[in-house]
Amino acid sequence: MSLASELELKSRIPLLDRTMDVDGHEFAPPHLWGTLFGPTAARLSKVCEPFIAMMGDGYILRPDQAGDDTPMTLENVWTQRHTGAPGAFDMERRLEAMDLMGVRRQLIFPSYGLWGQILSTGPDGGGAMAQSMQNLLGDGLTAQEARALGFAGIDEYNEWAIRATALDPDRLRPVGMLKAPRDVDDLIGQATGLINRGLRGLLINTGSPPAGLSPAAPELDPFWALLAERNVPIMAHVGGDLGFLGTSAWSNAPAFAAHKLALEVGLDTYSYATLHLAVEHFLTVIVMGGVFERHPTLRFGAIELGAHWLGPLADSLDMWATTIFARRIKQTLSMKPSEYLARNVRVTPHNIVEPVAAFLTRYPHLSSCYCYSTDYPHLEGGANIKTKVYEMLKSLGVETLEKYFVTNGEWLLPE
């Protein structure tokens, strides 16, 4: 995008200079992890480099990069998508990039932290990558020791997130990571500690029952109540569904062979066609189990998981709730399931693939759910994405544009 066209677009459409971006990332090359995050990160960088190398040259692995020092321009904040992008991991520079991109606030999700989550989940949930990481860490490392090392990596990421938030708590919203909890008290303790230290969003693994319980279990109500009372959104994110599938054998077929490795999701048709299943299941439990009924101000975000599934899910839940289970469900819900989704849940379409305008037209009762995101500086976000999305949606009118770019995202980025 040229400087002239960007400035012209902003002058015509002022809302594009105050957008709410509900998906950004910290994104650093592994040789700088130790400096940014700490000693566990330095150790894990050596283990992760072989996997990162398989993700392609120049994307994450950039060994000659000395720091977050790429000169910043109005053009390259929209076109560079790798660890060398301006403001990729220096959050003071991220604020400058956000200014150029017209972003008022941004949720910032982990990149490095995901490696800790994979390792701490172990082969039973983290799959072959977790097993390979454990093997590369050295002979004699037990599963318990690998899990503890993964937890230490998550802790280092959370400390970084707290430091980054302090730079500008209103605009920068790094999302804290919840470790697999021992029990409900541990889960609540983790959440309370991170919130009290300034974090304004939390990431939960939707691939396994939290603390071994159904998300709708009454025992978890104090956890949901804490988040609702503190106005802290709970988020699911692509790559955060470890343990949902009991085996990777489902994708072990020639048709699904990926041409290269990826961190958050496999680069194959199977992985992309199924990446929404865990969060769809998680939300089914939460909605039909009455969590949003009991906690009406609870904020939930399904991030970088697409949006094509939301409308059909709403239709399915409404069908069951208004037909054969209509009498029984009145004991749990006072509204239709789709109304809880519209009130409490926000999703991010894959802007470069999904027909967002069609979703908004087909499901007007869910128009509050769909949110703008850049995925900055990850590749999947796409180049010049704000202009592309604006062109896709402009025929739907100013009110729809305001909701998509600003108002809907405010549910996950509150004052």
pLDDT of residue 228: 98
**Which residues, given as ranges, of the chain have pLDDT below 50?**
1, 125-126
Kindly report the pTM of this predicted structure: 0.94
pLDDT of residue 29: 95
Rounded Cα distance between 117 and 130, Å, is 9
107 forms beta bridges with 173
> Which residue in the block uniquely carries the two structure tokens 């409900």?
184
pLDDT of residue 263: 57
> Which residue in the block uniquely carries the two structure tokens 């305008």?
357
pLDDT of residue 147: 87
DSSP string, 325-336: THHHHTTT-SS-
pLDDT of residue 396: 96
pLDDT of residue 242: 86
pLDDT of residue 127: 52
Q: CB neighbours of 415 closer than 8 A, spacing ≥ 6?
A: 170
pLDDT of residue 133: 60
Class at the top of the CATH hierarchy for domain 19-410: alpha beta
* 16-48 burial: b if 16+ Cβ within 10 Å, else e: bbebbbbbbbbbbbbbbbbebbbebbbbbbebb
- C-beta atoms surrounding 254 within 10 Å: 5
What number of H helices and E strands is found in the chain? 20, 8
Rounded Cα distance between 223 and 135, Å, is 36
- Tell whether the torsion through CA atoms of 121, 126, 127 and 131 is positive or negative: negative
pLDDT of residue 414: 98
> What letter represents residue 78's amino acid?
W
pLDDT of residue 352: 84
> Which residue in the block uniquely carries the two structure tokens 């999947």?
380
Asked if 58 and 72 touch (Cβ cutoff 8 Å), the reply is no
pLDDT of residue 57: 80
Rounded Cα distance between 95 and 104, Å, is 9
Element (H, E) at 172: strand 172-174
Rounded Cα distance between 227 and 344, Å, is 13
pLDDT of residue 69: 96
- Tell whether the torsion through CA atoms of 26, 22, 307 and 394 is positive or negative: negative
- C-beta atoms surrounding 264 within 10 Å: 18
pLDDT in tens, 356-365: 999 999 999 9
